Amino acid sequence: MNASQKSAEVINIDSKKNPAIPLSAHVKQTVEQYFLHLNGHDAVDLHAMVIGEVEKPLLQATLEHSGYNQTKAAKALGLSRSTLRKKLEYYGLS
């Protein structure tokens, strides 16, 4: 399994309560809703918008999960610690 396949994996702790829905399905549904709300207007900077909407909460959740240890968070994210610090500063999370 390569990294992109692994990132799309869903961990379902209790499959009897709620079937897990992959993050990619949520993203696709949300982007489709965004297109519907454009009412025929052109989308602009969609990639940057989606990355910005996803990256900040990803960083926040990973930091919380790692006990705010930036070294552990960077490792979990697959980033260098300096890259993580730059992203934290960019999003005002430092």
Q: What is the pLDDT of residues 75-87, one digit of tens each?
A: 999 999 999 999 9
pLDDT at residue 55, as a whole number: 96
Q: Is residue 18 part of a domain?
A: no
* Angle separating helix axes 70-77 and 46-65, nearest 10 degrees: 130
Portion of the chain with pLDDT greater than 70, in percent: 81
pLDDT at residue 4, as a whole number: 47
Q: Is residue 44 part of a domain?
A: yes
> Domain total for the chain?
1
Q: Is residue 78 part of a domain?
A: yes
Q: Is residue 45 part of a domain?
A: yes
Q: Is residue 17 part of a domain?
A: no
- pLDDT exceeds 90 at position 94: no
Angle at alpha carbon of residue 40, lines to 37 and 45, rounded to 5° = 75
Q: Is residue 60 part of a domain?
A: yes
* Domain, as residue range, for 70: 23-91
In SS3 terms, 45-61 reads as: CHHHHHHHHHHHHHHHH
Tokens of 86: 């730059």
Q: Is residue 14 part of a domain?
A: no
| Cα–Cα distance for residue pair 89/48, rounded to 1 Å | 17
Q: Is residue 58 part of a domain?
A: yes
> Which of 9-18, 36-45, 65-74, 80-89 has the weakest average pLDDT?
9-18
